Amino acid sequence: MTTRTGVYPGTFDPITLGHMDIIRRGAKLCDRLVIGVTTNPSKNPMFTIEERMEMVKREVADIAGEIHVVSFDSLLMDFAEREGASMIVRGLRAVADFEYEYQMAGMNQQLNSRIETVFLMADVSLQPIASRLVKEIALYGGDIRKFVPSAVNAEVAARVAAIGRKGSG
């Protein structure tokens, strides 16, 4: 019997409750879920890749199933192939996500047709959450506790304090 492996890629800067929802549900779809933490300099990361990996590892520790957290800096389909994945798990929040993800899934299929893309709709209560917006809210002194796990909230607050709030000075 072969192990069905799924890959859930992202920058996770920081990991949000929306990500956690997709991870919990994605873990039920495969025998082994690999969470691929990637670099994306264009997203202006708040945390290093090592810090993000530690956050993700800590937050997924209690989720049932075989879950691995690894970093990658390559084409997603090359990473998925190396991990032996048969599926890419992606979360969808809104129509705008669908348009981007649909195009990406089509390109990925052209690169490797043996790996399917599986879309999971975000829980309705979590649909507005985006890491980019969480960081922006935090930088302007807003409360992000509704959007991230409590330990992540503390880490974001500490980072914001270290870099100074936007608009002050």
43 is catalytic: yes
131 is catalytic: yes
In the set 28, 43, 145, 146, the catalytic residue is 43
Q: Tell me, yes or no, if 58 is annotated catalytic.
A: no
Q: Which of 19, 52, 90, 135 is catalytic?
A: 19
Are residues 134 and 147 in contact, defined by beta-carbon separation less than 8 angstroms?
A: yes
62: tokens are 């209690």
Q: Which residue has the tokens 């993000």?
A: 52
Q: What is the DSSP string of 85-131?
A: -SEEEEEE-SHHHHHHHHHHHHHHHHH-TTSEEEEEEPPGGGTT--H
Of the listed 4, 58, 93, 159, which one is catalytic? Answer: 93
Of 52, 90, 131, 135, the active-site residue reads 131
Which residue numbers are catalytic? Answer: 19, 43, 93, 131
